[in-house]
Amino acid sequence: MQLEALIFDCDGTLAETEEAHRAAFNALFREHDLDWHWSIETYTDLLKITGGKERIRHFLRHYAPSKADYYIDNDHLIPPMHVRKTAIYMELVKTGEVPLRPGVERLILEARAAGMRLAIATTTNIDPLSALFEGTLGRDALTWFEAVAAGDMVPNKKPAGDVYELVLKELNLQGPQCMAFEDTTNGILSARAANIPVLITVSEYSAGQDFQGALAVIDNLGEPDAPFKALSGYAHKPTHVDLELVKKWHAAGSNG
């Protein structure tokens, strides 16, 4: 089956956004004069919980920081805190503080020039996504993507397949006609639930996860002068992932 569309996850795949999310949470806590601080280790654990508000609640219950009881008893304080955290995060990414990962811009531009259809499937809301583009590819870049399924548009977040099913519906394509770009186990499960082959670029926070079910697992998309490393699923020695290589992987995956 011919490859018709590339579908990208956002956090961890387009950019290493998790460090900016973590920085935004910590800035929020400072603004509230709280001595709470999320280390990389803590945040790795908290990422198992989907959703920022849910993460704060989980932190209060399981890490018992100062004033936890007060915030548990006053749960209405948490949603506005999360709104403020999102604003801090958006300021960070809008200013270009968070670059796209290696090869992402190159591949998107190549695919776009070749007339390949593009889409996004993410659990992030649309505003932070568009802020990321504003700080990287430019304000209009979101319009390059024919289907953008984000945040709460679907009832069930990844690892459920809903977000990919919605993209397929909007593109009017079948799963095997697409390639998904993801960085986590949950991403693989979500794309595979919609019968879409998956390429994994391992991110800072997904190293060590189970990538079974992916067509290939690499450290990033690579650049001609900064080759990617294959962690599994590929025997050749190209330097970077271009459209031709994506098509090869796709053909191998859909014939196999």
Which of 11, 162, 183, 242 is flagged as catalytic? 11
Distances (CA, A) of 109 to 125, 128, 201, 222: 23, 21, 18, 14
Residue 134 in the binding site for Mg ion (CB under 5 A)? no
Residue 12 vs 253, nearer CB to Mg ion: 12
* Helical residues (DSSP H) of the chain, grouped into ranges: 18-31, 40-46, 52-63, 68-73, 78-94, 104-113, 126-134, 162-171, 185-193, 243-255
In the complex, minimum distance from the CB of residue 120 to Mg ion, in angstroms, rounded to a whole number: 11
Cα-to-chain-centroid distance, residue 94: 17
* Rounded Cα distance, 178 and 197, in Å: 7
Q: Which of 3, 6, 12, 148 binds Mg ion (CB under 5 A)?
A: 12
- Residue 11 DSSP label: B
In the complex, minimum distance from the CB of residue 13 to Mg ion, in angstroms, rounded to a whole number: 5
Residue 9 in the binding site for Mg ion (CB under 5 A)? yes
Name the burial class of residue 35, with classes exposed (0-12), middle (13-18) and buried (19+) by CB atoms within 10 angstroms of its CB.
exposed
Q: How many residues bind Mg ion (CB under 5 A)?
A: 5
Amino acid at 150: A
Catalytic residue at 140?
A: no
Q: Show the binding pattern over residues 160-189: x = contacts Mg ion (CB under 5 A), - = does not.
A: -----------------------xx-----
Residue 11 vs 165, nearer CB to Mg ion: 11
In the complex, minimum distance from the CB of residue 10 to Mg ion, in angstroms, rounded to a whole number: 7
Catalytic residue at 225?
A: no
Q: Show the binding pattern over residues 44-83: x = contacts Mg ion (CB under 5 A), - = does not.
A: ----------------------------------------
CA angle (46 as vertex; 209, 17 as ends), nearest 5 = 75
Q: Which residues are catalytic?
A: 9, 11
Interface residues toward Mg ion, by CB under 5 A? 9, 11-12, 183-184
